[in-house]
Chain A
């Protein structure tokens, strides 16, 4: 059997190197156009999005994009800003002017008074592709800045879409069922504003979504879990 023939069983789950489509115009996310055709570059599940064939990846690093809301930790000071770990290979940078309303003066303003090492921040990616660190901003959303809650859940980045659900439907189940607010960072961090019990419930639900991402009837299982009817 050749390499190509081995791959013919079960076309829905694909591995890197597997041809998913002949027409290069239909190449979607996580694919590469080669002389053999459109090839998957990841382990994942095929998804038709409009006319394109994309791969929902099983796993993968966080790739910052302009406009992403992220939740990260302050890990360093620069003369004019803070370095923030957003879980993306390279640390992101938040300029001091973002916090001091454009009038940062190192003689008067102390960076540590605003944000200290270890503080958790919500920010938006202003510019992702930049030599050096992705640039962060605190503008564009009133909930940005230092987080007051301590309830965080780190999830694989590839699960965020499923946790939000179609038009936010899954997220609403989590929030309404526990009477809490969930802020979702595209870098795989959830921040829960609610009680400890709400956090514990949401953590269980999110673990279920991460482990059974492709389960038929997942939404129902999650609803049951949140309502307190737990299955083994």
Chain B
């Protein structure tokens, strides 16, 4: 029997991203803001800072302290999620902060704090990497000096095949799910997490695939940022 072209649950090719869009500068009060949609994911980011860090005795004399809060609204998931931060949200807040920190030139703002607030309005697989991609835009929108943007993408193993950008069903039913974020011009990894099981060559394949997906999203990041200035011409 001739081999049919492999199609996933939602009809995508193995290396195909879900439809996505990015917008910069959508909230008025925040110093910087952005929105990302990827498949059913809808995430809004606000950046405040640099601003006074409290409590003062915990501020650093050498650099600004980055604070990151990943949070989901109660109606973002299939089952209602109570507003209080869950252990998952707390862990994601930490790894997202650690994904963004290397890109920020925090030494320029000693004694201060920079707050990144991530709010997931609808979640459908890959929210942490999408949050990082959008947070990067919001930080650039705020004018925080950066060494590079940060962009993230997921890949994994579903039905025995290595695929890009797992949606919620693939995440639940699949054999492995890998989240990657990097600084694309510097080619340095800033977030890497995995769930499930992969053989070493599968792992390598998944990482390379996630990177390819991330670079496609990087292109969109640049367009979204450049658009802001083009609108001023």
Contact = CB atoms under 8 A, between A and B. Distances in A.
- The answer on direct contact between A and B (beta carbons under 8 Å) is yes
Interface of A: 1-4, 6-7, 10, 13, 15-19, 30, 32, 34, 36, 39, 41-45, 57-61, 89-91, 131, 158, 211-216
A32 B105 contact: yes
Contact of A89 (B103, B112, B219): B112
13 contacts: A7-B185, A7-B222, A15-B222, A16-B148, A17-B146, A32-B145, A39-B147, A41-B147, A57-B143, A59-B32, A89-B50, A89-B112, A215-B233
Contacts of B187: 2-3
B165 interface: no
Given A13-B229, A16-B140, A32-B147, 18 more contacts: A4-B185, A6-B184, A6-B219, A6-B222, A7-B185, A16-B146, A30-B145, A41-B146, A42-B143, A44-B229, A45-B229, A59-B141, A59-B143, A89-B50, A90-B111, A91-B52, A211-B232, A212-B233
Closest 5 CB pairs of A and B: A60-B143, A17-B148, A3-B184, A16-B146, A59-B143
Main secondary structure of the interface of A (DSSP, over half): loop
Contacts of B141: 43, 58-59
Contact of B215 (A3, A59, A211): A3
B183 interface: yes
A189 B161 CA distance: 58
Nearest to B105: A41
B147 A1 contact: no
Contacts of A131: 61
Contacts of A43: 140-141, 143, 225-226, 228-229
B51 interface: yes
Contacts of A6: 184, 215, 218-219, 222
A16 B149 contact: yes
Interface of B: 31-32, 49-52, 61, 103, 105, 109, 111-112, 140-149, 183-187, 215, 218-219, 221-222, 225-226, 228-233
Contacts of B186: 3, 17, 36
Contacts of B218: 3, 6
Given A15-B149, A59-B141, A3 B185 contact: yes
A214 B112 contact: no
A90 B31 CA distance: 15
A176 to B, nearest CB: 25
Contacts of A45: 229
Nearest to B148: A17
A13 B109 contact: no
A215 to B, nearest CB: 6
B215 A89 contact: no
A144 B121 CA distance: 48
Contacts of B233: 212, 214-216
Nearest to B229: A13
A90 B142 CA distance: 17
A151 to B, nearest CB: 21
Contact of B145 (A1, A4, A41, A215): A41
Contacts of A57: 143
A15 B144 CA distance: 12
A213 B233 CA distance: 7
Contact of A214 (B109, B142, B232): B232
B145 A16 contact: yes
Contacts of A16: 103, 140, 145-149
Nearest to B51: A89
Contacts of A1: 215, 219
Contacts of A216: 233
Nearest to B212: A1
Nearest to B145: A41
Contacts of B230: 13
A89 B114 CA distance: 10
A58 B143 contact: yes
A213 B232 contact: yes
A157 to B, nearest CB: 9
A148 B96 CA distance: 48
